[in-house]
Structure 1
Amino acid sequence: MYKLMLIVLMAGLWMTAQALQIDEEMAMQLLDQSKRAVNRAAHAGAQQLDREALAEGRLRIDPAAASDYAMAYLRGNLQLDEAGAPLPNSPLKEPVRVLALDVINDDHSFPYVYRNETYDFEAVLDKPGVVFIVRVAYPRIFAALDPIEWDIKGVSELVFMEER
Protein backbone atom coordinates (compact mmCIF):
# COMPACT_ATOMS: atom_id res chain seq x y z
CA MET A 1 0.00 0.00 0.00
CA TYR A 2 2.81 2.43 0.86
CA LYS A 3 4.34 1.84 -2.59
CA LEU A 4 1.09 2.87 -4.23
CA MET A 5 1.03 6.07 -2.13
CA LEU A 6 4.66 6.75 -3.08
CA ILE A 7 3.85 6.34 -6.78
CA VAL A 8 0.88 8.73 -6.52
CA LEU A 9 2.99 11.25 -4.58
CA MET A 10 5.84 11.05 -7.10
CA ALA A 11 3.43 11.40 -10.03
CA GLY A 12 1.98 14.55 -8.45
CA LEU A 13 5.46 15.93 -7.84
CA TRP A 14 6.50 15.15 -11.43
CA MET A 15 3.38 16.82 -12.86
CA THR A 16 3.99 19.92 -10.74
CA ALA A 17 7.59 20.14 -11.93
CA GLN A 18 6.44 19.70 -15.53
CA ALA A 19 3.84 22.47 -15.15
CA LEU A 20 6.48 24.81 -13.72
CA GLN A 21 8.78 24.05 -16.66
CA ILE A 22 5.99 24.73 -19.18
CA ASP A 23 5.15 27.95 -17.33
CA GLU A 24 8.77 29.09 -17.57
CA GLU A 25 8.93 28.26 -21.28
CA MET A 26 5.74 30.23 -21.95
CA ALA A 27 7.20 33.19 -20.02
CA MET A 28 10.38 33.11 -22.13
CA GLN A 29 8.33 33.01 -25.35
CA LEU A 30 6.35 36.04 -24.17
CA LEU A 31 9.57 37.88 -23.28
CA ASP A 32 10.99 37.17 -26.75
CA GLN A 33 7.81 38.28 -28.50
CA SER A 34 7.61 41.44 -26.36
CA LYS A 35 11.26 42.32 -27.02
CA ARG A 36 10.73 42.03 -30.77
CA ALA A 37 7.60 44.20 -30.50
CA VAL A 38 9.43 46.90 -28.54
CA ASN A 39 12.34 46.90 -31.01
CA ARG A 40 9.95 47.23 -33.95
CA ALA A 41 8.04 50.01 -32.20
CA ALA A 42 11.25 51.95 -31.47
CA HIS A 43 12.33 51.53 -35.09
CA ALA A 44 8.94 52.75 -36.37
CA GLY A 45 9.16 55.80 -34.13
CA ALA A 46 12.73 56.57 -35.21
CA GLN A 47 11.71 56.77 -38.88
CA GLN A 48 9.27 59.67 -38.43
CA LEU A 49 11.12 62.60 -39.96
CA ASP A 50 10.31 66.18 -39.09
CA ARG A 51 9.50 67.49 -42.58
CA GLU A 52 10.07 71.14 -41.69
CA ALA A 53 13.55 70.43 -40.35
CA LEU A 54 14.27 68.24 -43.38
CA ALA A 55 13.36 71.16 -45.66
CA GLU A 56 16.07 73.13 -43.83
CA GLY A 57 18.56 70.31 -44.39
CA ARG A 58 18.47 68.91 -40.83
CA LEU A 59 17.74 65.31 -39.93
CA ARG A 60 15.33 65.44 -37.04
CA ILE A 61 12.62 63.12 -35.69
CA ASP A 62 9.12 64.48 -35.15
CA PRO A 63 8.47 63.62 -31.46
CA ALA A 64 4.66 63.52 -31.75
CA ALA A 65 4.70 61.29 -34.83
CA ALA A 66 7.41 59.10 -33.28
CA SER A 67 5.27 58.55 -30.19
CA ASP A 68 2.15 57.83 -32.24
CA TYR A 69 3.87 55.35 -34.56
CA ALA A 70 5.77 53.61 -31.76
CA MET A 71 2.57 53.10 -29.79
CA ALA A 72 0.68 51.94 -32.88
CA TYR A 73 3.36 49.35 -33.66
CA LEU A 74 3.45 48.16 -30.05
CA ARG A 75 -0.34 47.82 -29.96
CA GLY A 76 -0.37 46.01 -33.29
CA ASN A 77 2.41 43.56 -32.44
CA LEU A 78 1.16 42.71 -28.94
CA GLN A 79 -2.55 43.05 -29.81
CA LEU A 80 -3.38 45.78 -27.31
CA ASP A 81 -6.21 48.29 -27.19
CA GLU A 82 -5.73 52.08 -27.02
CA ALA A 83 -5.18 51.98 -23.24
CA GLY A 84 -2.52 49.24 -23.47
CA ALA A 85 -4.82 46.49 -22.19
CA PRO A 86 -4.61 43.16 -24.01
CA LEU A 87 -7.27 42.24 -26.54
CA PRO A 88 -8.83 38.75 -26.35
CA ASN A 89 -6.35 37.25 -28.85
CA SER A 90 -3.29 38.87 -27.24
CA PRO A 91 -0.50 36.73 -25.74
CA LEU A 92 -0.62 39.03 -22.70
CA LYS A 93 -3.06 38.96 -19.81
CA GLU A 94 -1.96 42.17 -18.03
CA PRO A 95 -1.82 45.73 -19.44
CA VAL A 96 1.48 47.00 -20.82
CA ARG A 97 2.86 50.14 -19.18
CA VAL A 98 5.02 52.58 -21.10
CA LEU A 99 7.83 53.67 -18.77
CA ALA A 100 9.81 55.86 -21.16
CA LEU A 101 9.54 57.00 -24.75
CA ASP A 102 12.36 59.46 -25.38
CA VAL A 103 13.20 61.07 -28.71
CA ILE A 104 16.85 62.10 -29.05
CA ASN A 105 17.24 64.78 -31.70
CA ASP A 106 19.89 67.11 -33.08
CA ASP A 107 19.71 69.29 -29.97
CA HIS A 108 22.29 66.82 -28.57
CA SER A 109 25.80 66.31 -29.90
CA PHE A 110 26.52 62.89 -31.38
CA PRO A 111 27.65 60.35 -30.42
CA TYR A 112 25.22 60.84 -27.54
CA VAL A 113 25.21 58.61 -24.46
CA TYR A 114 21.63 58.11 -23.32
CA ARG A 115 21.33 57.17 -19.65
CA ASN A 116 18.23 56.27 -17.70
CA GLU A 117 19.24 55.59 -14.11
CA THR A 118 15.71 54.64 -13.07
CA TYR A 119 15.61 51.62 -15.38
CA ASP A 120 19.36 50.95 -15.44
CA PHE A 121 19.73 51.53 -19.17
CA GLU A 122 22.46 53.09 -21.25
CA ALA A 123 22.82 53.35 -25.02
CA VAL A 124 25.08 55.24 -27.42
CA LEU A 125 23.35 56.94 -30.32
CA ASP A 126 25.35 58.08 -33.36
CA LYS A 127 22.41 59.99 -34.87
CA PRO A 128 18.85 60.94 -33.87
CA GLY A 129 16.88 58.07 -32.38
CA VAL A 130 14.13 56.79 -30.12
CA VAL A 131 14.46 55.01 -26.78
CA PHE A 132 11.44 52.96 -25.72
CA ILE A 133 11.01 51.20 -22.36
CA VAL A 134 7.86 49.27 -21.40
CA ARG A 135 6.88 47.00 -18.51
CA VAL A 136 5.32 43.66 -19.40
CA ALA A 137 3.90 41.24 -16.84
CA TYR A 138 3.38 37.51 -17.21
CA PRO A 139 0.85 35.98 -14.79
CA ARG A 140 2.01 32.59 -13.57
CA ILE A 141 0.04 29.34 -13.92
CA PHE A 142 0.12 28.86 -10.15
CA ALA A 143 -1.62 31.72 -8.38
CA ALA A 144 0.70 31.22 -5.37
CA LEU A 145 3.64 32.48 -7.45
CA ASP A 146 4.07 36.18 -8.12
CA PRO A 147 3.83 37.31 -11.73
CA ILE A 148 7.04 37.84 -13.66
CA GLU A 149 7.62 41.43 -14.76
CA TRP A 150 10.19 42.70 -17.24
CA ASP A 151 11.28 46.21 -18.15
CA ILE A 152 11.87 45.74 -21.87
CA LYS A 153 14.13 48.28 -23.52
CA GLY A 154 14.48 49.13 -27.17
CA VAL A 155 16.45 51.77 -29.05
CA SER A 156 16.61 52.66 -32.71
CA GLU A 157 18.33 55.35 -34.74
CA LEU A 158 17.10 57.24 -37.76
CA VAL A 159 17.99 55.25 -40.88
CA PHE A 160 18.72 57.16 -44.04
CA MET A 161 20.60 56.67 -47.28
CA GLU A 162 23.77 58.67 -47.46
CA GLU A 163 24.93 60.20 -50.73
CA ARG A 164 27.89 58.53 -52.33
Structure 2
Amino acid sequence: MTRPKPSSEDRRQMKSAARLYAVQALFQMESSGQSSDVVVQEFEDHRFGAEYEEGTFAEGNIDLFRKTIGDAVNWQARIDQMTDRALVAAWPIDRIDPTLRALFRAAGAEMVANDTPPRVVITEYVDVARAFFPEGKEPKFVNAVLDHMAREAQPEAFNA
Protein backbone atom coordinates (compact mmCIF):
# COMPACT_ATOMS: atom_id res chain seq x y z
CA MET A 1 0.00 0.00 0.00
CA THR A 2 1.40 3.40 -0.93
CA ARG A 3 1.39 6.33 1.42
CA PRO A 4 -0.41 9.49 0.34
CA LYS A 5 1.80 12.23 -1.07
CA PRO A 6 2.52 14.85 1.61
CA SER A 7 0.86 18.23 1.17
CA SER A 8 2.96 21.32 0.54
CA GLU A 9 2.55 22.28 4.22
CA ASP A 10 3.68 18.80 5.29
CA ARG A 11 6.74 19.08 3.02
CA ARG A 12 7.55 22.51 4.48
CA GLN A 13 7.28 21.14 8.03
CA MET A 14 9.48 18.18 7.12
CA LYS A 15 12.15 20.56 5.80
CA SER A 16 11.92 22.66 8.95
CA ALA A 17 12.32 19.54 11.09
CA ALA A 18 15.31 18.44 8.99
CA ARG A 19 16.97 21.81 9.62
CA LEU A 20 16.41 21.55 13.36
CA TYR A 21 17.79 18.00 13.34
CA ALA A 22 20.80 19.15 11.29
CA VAL A 23 21.68 21.75 13.93
CA GLN A 24 21.32 19.14 16.67
CA ALA A 25 23.42 16.64 14.72
CA LEU A 26 26.20 19.14 14.03
CA PHE A 27 26.21 20.08 17.72
CA GLN A 28 26.43 16.39 18.66
CA MET A 29 29.26 15.79 16.19
CA GLU A 30 31.29 18.66 17.64
CA SER A 31 30.63 17.83 21.29
CA SER A 32 31.12 14.07 21.00
CA GLY A 33 33.72 13.85 18.25
CA GLN A 34 31.56 11.32 16.39
CA SER A 35 31.70 11.16 12.61
CA SER A 36 28.90 12.48 10.46
CA ASP A 37 28.06 8.94 9.29
CA VAL A 38 27.50 7.74 12.86
CA VAL A 39 25.43 10.75 13.87
CA VAL A 40 23.33 10.78 10.69
CA GLN A 41 22.51 7.10 11.15
CA GLU A 42 21.61 7.67 14.81
CA PHE A 43 19.25 10.51 13.92
CA GLU A 44 17.60 8.55 11.14
CA ASP A 45 17.14 5.53 13.43
CA HIS A 46 16.08 7.35 16.62
CA ARG A 47 14.68 10.79 15.77
CA PHE A 48 12.88 10.93 12.44
CA GLY A 49 9.28 10.10 13.37
CA ALA A 50 10.32 8.05 16.41
CA GLU A 51 7.73 7.53 19.12
CA TYR A 52 8.63 7.65 22.80
CA GLU A 53 6.67 7.95 26.04
CA GLU A 54 7.34 11.70 26.03
CA GLY A 55 5.87 12.07 22.53
CA THR A 56 6.64 11.68 18.86
CA PHE A 57 9.55 13.29 17.08
CA ALA A 58 8.63 15.09 13.88
CA GLU A 59 9.15 13.37 10.57
CA GLY A 60 11.96 15.16 8.75
CA ASN A 61 13.09 15.44 5.17
CA ILE A 62 15.93 12.91 5.21
CA ASP A 63 17.43 14.08 1.90
CA LEU A 64 17.70 17.69 3.09
CA PHE A 65 19.10 16.52 6.44
CA ARG A 66 21.79 14.36 4.82
CA LYS A 67 22.72 17.05 2.29
CA THR A 68 22.93 19.77 4.95
CA ILE A 69 25.19 17.65 7.16
CA GLY A 70 27.38 16.59 4.22
CA ASP A 71 27.71 20.15 2.90
CA ALA A 72 28.41 21.52 6.39
CA VAL A 73 31.23 19.00 6.81
CA ASN A 74 32.63 19.49 3.30
CA TRP A 75 32.43 23.30 3.38
CA GLN A 76 33.11 23.86 7.11
CA ALA A 77 36.26 25.97 6.62
CA ARG A 78 34.54 28.27 4.11
CA ILE A 79 31.39 28.52 6.25
CA ASP A 80 33.40 29.27 9.39
CA GLN A 81 35.32 32.00 7.54
CA MET A 82 32.05 33.55 6.34
CA THR A 83 30.72 33.41 9.89
CA ASP A 84 33.90 34.99 11.30
CA ARG A 85 33.58 37.88 8.85
CA ALA A 86 29.97 38.39 9.96
CA LEU A 87 30.89 38.45 13.66
CA VAL A 88 32.57 41.24 15.55
CA ALA A 89 36.36 40.78 15.53
CA ALA A 90 36.35 40.12 19.28
CA TRP A 91 34.01 37.16 18.82
CA PRO A 92 35.44 34.60 16.40
CA ILE A 93 33.30 31.55 15.74
CA ASP A 94 35.19 29.39 18.23
CA ARG A 95 34.11 31.74 21.07
CA ILE A 96 30.37 31.64 20.42
CA ASP A 97 27.80 29.25 21.85
CA PRO A 98 28.21 25.76 20.30
CA THR A 99 24.51 25.63 19.41
CA LEU A 100 24.86 28.88 17.45
CA ARG A 101 28.02 27.56 15.82
CA ALA A 102 26.12 24.45 14.66
CA LEU A 103 23.26 26.64 13.44
CA PHE A 104 25.59 28.89 11.42
CA ARG A 105 27.24 25.83 9.88
CA ALA A 106 23.91 24.28 8.86
CA ALA A 107 22.58 27.56 7.45
CA GLY A 108 25.92 28.27 5.78
CA ALA A 109 25.81 24.86 4.12
CA GLU A 110 22.50 25.72 2.49
CA MET A 111 23.79 29.13 1.43
CA VAL A 112 27.00 27.75 -0.09
CA ALA A 113 25.12 24.96 -1.88
CA ASN A 114 22.85 27.66 -3.34
CA ASP A 115 19.86 25.28 -3.40
CA THR A 116 17.52 27.45 -1.34
CA PRO A 117 16.86 31.17 -1.65
CA PRO A 118 18.87 32.99 1.03
CA ARG A 119 15.83 34.73 2.52
CA VAL A 120 14.22 31.33 3.07
CA VAL A 121 17.40 30.03 4.74
CA ILE A 122 17.51 33.06 7.03
CA THR A 123 13.85 32.76 8.01
CA GLU A 124 14.10 29.03 8.65
CA TYR A 125 17.21 29.23 10.82
CA VAL A 126 15.94 32.23 12.79
CA ASP A 127 12.97 29.97 13.61
CA VAL A 128 15.43 27.26 14.69
CA ALA A 129 17.18 29.82 16.90
CA ARG A 130 13.81 30.65 18.48
CA ALA A 131 13.33 26.95 19.27
CA PHE A 132 16.66 26.83 21.11
CA PHE A 133 16.55 30.33 22.62
CA PRO A 134 12.87 31.27 23.09
CA GLU A 135 13.54 34.03 25.63
CA GLY A 136 16.88 35.41 24.46
CA LYS A 137 18.27 37.89 21.98
CA GLU A 138 19.90 35.13 19.96
CA PRO A 139 17.27 35.05 17.15
CA LYS A 140 17.99 38.70 16.30
CA PHE A 141 21.71 38.00 16.45
CA VAL A 142 21.24 34.96 14.16
CA ASN A 143 19.23 37.08 11.73
CA ALA A 144 22.00 39.69 11.49
CA VAL A 145 24.81 37.16 11.09
CA LEU A 146 22.92 35.08 8.51
CA ASP A 147 22.00 38.19 6.52
CA HIS A 148 25.70 39.09 6.31
CA MET A 149 26.64 35.52 5.37
CA ALA A 150 23.92 35.35 2.70
CA ARG A 151 25.06 38.59 1.10
CA GLU A 152 28.56 37.16 0.86
CA ALA A 153 27.52 33.68 -0.34
CA GLN A 154 24.86 34.82 -2.82
CA PRO A 155 25.26 38.54 -3.59
CA GLU A 156 23.23 38.20 -6.77
CA ALA A 157 20.13 37.39 -4.71
CA PHE A 158 20.28 40.84 -3.10
CA ASN A 159 20.98 42.95 -6.21
CA ALA A 160 17.42 42.78 -7.50
Decide: shared fold, TM above 0.5. no
Structure with the higher fraction of residues in helix conformation:
2
TM-score, normalised via structure 1 length: 0.33
Structure with the higher fraction of residues in strand conformation:
1
TM-score, normalised via structure 2 length: 0.34
